[in-house]
Structure 1
Amino acid sequence: MTTFLTPRQRADRTSAAVEAAVEAGRGLGLTITGPTVLHDVFSVVVHLAPSPVVARIPTVLSRPDDLAALARRQQDELDVTRWLADRNIPVIAPSPLVPREPVQHDGYSMTFWPFVEEARDREPDYVENAESVADLHAALRAYPGHRLEFLSAADPRFIADSLVLLDRHPDLIGAAELDRARREWQVLEPLVRSRSAFETRFPGIDLQPIHGDSPPANIFNAVDGDLYADFELVALGPVEWDLAALGPEHEAAYNRGARRNGMRPLDKEVLAFVNAVGMLRVIAALTLVPQLPELMEYLGPAVDRWQTTPFAGGMNS
C-alpha cells in the first residue's frame, strides 16, 4: 500500500524549507525578521519580510535528490524572466537584491523574487489570459533559446519512470488504466524525446521558446497590473503546449491574440498531441500523491475524463 505524508510531516517539511530560505537569505545580506508563507503546494513560497523578497523553494519533486537538474531549470527561468523584463514585458523578474542564480541550502534549491502585492479583489479572467499568451509568445520568439531543451516541460524521464513505479501503487491507478497509459506512451514518447521526429510528424510547425506550464493560469494579478509568472518549465516547443487541456474557448481567444501579433493559429493536430502528452503527465503525477496527498482530488477526476478520450490523442491513426 502507498504511504502518504502525514499533516505533521507536511508541516515539518514546510518549516524546514522556510528555515533554509531564511538562512540562505541572511547569508545573501537580506534582513529577515518575519518570514511569511504565501503559498505551499508544489513549492513553499515565503516572503522574507521585511525585505521585499520572496523565496520559492520546490518541495514536491519527481527526483528530489537531483538538485543539479533542478538548478539548471531554475537558471533557465531566471534568465528568461530577466530577458523579458529588460524588454519591458510585464513579468515577475528575479529580485535585484541578490545574485541571479539558484541558491542551494540544507538540501533545497531555491530562487529569489521581488515581493509583489496581489490584487485579491480581482478574479482572474482565464479566457482573456489565453489571448494575452499570444503576446508573450510573440515576445519570446526573439529569445536566444539555444540553451532550452526541446519539450523539456513534458519531462519524458518523469513520465517513463512513473509508468514503471505505478506498478507499486495499485491504490492510485488500476491495472487497465496503467496498461493504456503505457501503450499510449509507446506512441507518443518518440515525438516528445526527438525534435526531428516531431518535425517529421508535424511539418511546418515552428518551434520557439514557450512558457511550459499553462501560462493562462500563471498570470499574477498584481495591484499595478497583470504579470506573467512561474516560468519553471520554460522550454523549446510548439506554442500549442502552452494551451494544452484548456478547451475551445481558450484556444479561440489565443487565436485572436495570434492574429493580432501576425502569428499562426493553433494547429488542431498538434493540440491533440500536446493534450495527450499532458494527460500522461497527469498519470505520472500520481507518483507525487504520497508527497502531496490532496493532489488526488484533482488527478482522480482527470484520469476519469482521460479514459473517455481517443487513444493517444489519435496519434496512432
Structure 2
Amino acid sequence: MPESMTSDQLAARTSRALDAAVAAGRALGLTVTDAAVLHDVFSVVVHLAPSPVVVRVPTVLPPYADPDSQTARQRVELDVVGWLAEQGHPVVPPSPLVPREPVRRDGFSMTFWQYVEQARDVEPDFVRNAGLVADLHAALREYPGELPFLSAAEPRFVTEGLAALEARPDLIEPADLDRARREWKVLEPLVSSRAAFEAAFPGIDFQPIHGDAPAVNIVASSDGPLYSDFELVTLGPVEWDMAALGPECEAAYDSAARRRGLRRLDEGVLRLVNAVGMSRAVACLALVPQLPLLAEALKPAVEQWRTMPFAGGLGD
C-alpha cells in the first residue's frame, strides 16, 4: 500500500479536478468565470459560477475503479435522479443546461447538477430526515428502470480493502484485521447474492433505494429539504438506507412508513446492514493514502465496531 499523499499532492489533485470541471463546463457552453470548490472529500464539488451548475468530480476511488465503471454508475444515478425530478419529487436535479450524461475530462469522470442555494445556519435533524427517507422509498418504488442487487455494499471494495490493510499495521491492529476478515466471510455472501440474502431473510422485499445514508444526504435548501447524492443507488432492502442511524431514527422511519403504507424495518436485516456498514468502515482505512483525514475520522466507527457482536450476531 502506498504512503499517504502529502498536503501538496492533495492540493494538486484538487486543482486538477477543479481545472477539469471548468474546462468541461466551458466545452459544454457554460459561462464560467468564478468557479469555486464547495466540498473536497471523496469528490471535489465545484460551483461553475456564475452558471447555476455544480460539478461533482470523484477523486478518492478504489484501485479497480476505471473510467468505464465510473461512467456506468454515474449514468444510473443521473437516470434515477432525473426520473425523480420529472415526477416532482424534491431532489437536487441534474443540470438542465447540459446533456444528462457523465463527462470525461483529463482522467476524471464527472456529473453536472443544478446549483441549489442552501439554507444557512440550519442544523441537520437526522430524526426528521429519517422520516423523509420513507417518503423517498415510496417514490422510488415506482422507478421503472432496472438496478443491480445491493451494489452499494461494494463487496469487492471491502474484500480488496481488507487485503490491502495487511501491509498497514499502523492503520489497523492485526487482531482487529483478523476479526474484520472473519466477519466478512460471514457477511459477504449475503450482500453478494440475492439468493443467499433471500434464503437468510425470507419474505423481505427489495426495491430501489438510495444506497448511501439518505438521511445524512438531505440538503436544507431555501425551498425545503432536497434529497441528494445518489451515487450508490441500488436495488435492496429499505433497511440498507437506515444503517448506523440508531433506534430514534429507526422509530421515526417506522412511523412515517406506517403512514405511507410501507412495511416496518426488520430487526434481523438491520443487524446485517449495520454489520456490513462496519465492515465497509474498516475497509475504508485502505483509502487513507488517498485521503489522510480518514485515519482520524474513522476512529470512532472502529471503536464502536469493537464493542459490537461478531458479524452483527449472524455467526462466528
- Matched residues in 1 for 2:85 and 2:33: separation? 29
Runs of 4+ in 1 over 6 A off after TM superposition: none
Whether 1:16 aligns to 2:16 is yes
- Assess, with a 3 A threshold, how the Cα gap between structure 1 residues 65 and 314 changes in structure 2: closer, same or farther: closer
- Matched residues in 1 for 2:180 and 2:226: separation? 36
- Matched residues in 2 for 1:35 and 1:254: separation? 38
- Matched residues in 2 for 1:262 and 1:161: separation? 40
Given that residues 151 and 192 in structure 1 are in contact (C-alpha distance below 8 angstroms), is that contact kept between their aligned partners in structure 2? yes
- Matched residues in 1 for 2:12 and 2:56: separation? 17
Partner of 2:252: 253
Partner of 2:189: 190
- Matched residues in 1 for 2:7 and 2:50: separation? 29
- Matched residues in 1 for 2:172 and 2:290: separation? 16
- Matched residues in 2 for 1:142 and 1:42: separation? 30
Given that residues 145 and 209 in structure 1 are in contact (C-alpha distance below 8 angstroms), is that contact kept between their aligned partners in structure 2? no
Given that residues 92 and 229 in structure 1 are in contact (C-alpha distance below 8 angstroms), is that contact kept between their aligned partners in structure 2? yes
Where does structure 2 lack aligned partners over 5 or more consecutive residues? none
- Assess, with a 3 A threshold, how the Cα gap between structure 1 residues 199 and 145 changes in structure 2: closer, same or farther: farther
- Matched residues in 1 for 2:216 and 2:133: separation? 10
Shift of 1:2: 5.7
Matches within 5 A, 1:83-94: 83-94=83-94
Partner of 2:286: 287
- Matched residues in 2 for 1:27 and 1:233: separation? 28
Shift of 1:63: 2.9
TM normalised by structure 1 equals 0.98
Given that residues 81 and 93 in structure 1 are in contact (C-alpha distance below 8 angstroms), is that contact kept between their aligned partners in structure 2? yes
Code of the residue aligned with 1:118 in structure 2: it is Q
Shift of 1:263: 0.6
Question: More displaced, 65-74 or 170-179?
Answer: 65-74
How many residues are treated as equivalent by the alignment? 316
- Matched residues in 2 for 1:270 and 1:260: separation? 21
Partner of 1:46: 46
Secondary structure at the aligned position of 1:217 is classed as coil
Where does structure 1 lack aligned partners over 5 or more consecutive residues? none
- Matched residues in 1 for 2:65 and 2:192: separation? 23
- Assess, with a 3 A threshold, how the Cα gap between structure 1 residues 250 and 68 changes in structure 2: closer, same or farther: same
Shift of 1:57: 0.2
- Matched residues in 2 for 1:25 and 1:5: separation? 28
Identity of aligned residues (%): 65
Partner of 2:210: 211
Question: More displaced, 235-244 or 290-299?
Answer: 290-299
Given that residues 2 and 171 in structure 1 are in contact (C-alpha distance below 8 angstroms), is that contact kept between their aligned partners in structure 2? no
1:73-123 residue CA offsets vs partner (Å, 9 max, x unmatched):
111110011110111110011001111010001000000001110101221
- Matched residues in 2 for 1:65 and 1:127: separation? 34
Secondary structure at the aligned position of 1:276 is classed as helix
Shift of 1:64: 6.4
1:221-252 residue CA offsets vs partner (Å, 9 max, x unmatched):
11111100000000000000000011000000
1:38-68 residue CA offsets vs partner (Å, 9 max, x unmatched):
1111110011111111110001111365111
Secondary structure at the aligned position of 2:293 is classed as helix
Shift of 1:145: 3.6
Matches within 5 A, 1:99-178: 99-146=99-146, 148-178=147-177
Shift of 1:160: 0.7
Partner of 1:267: 266
Given that residues 145 and 236 in structure 1 are in contact (C-alpha distance below 8 angstroms), is that contact kept between their aligned partners in structure 2? no
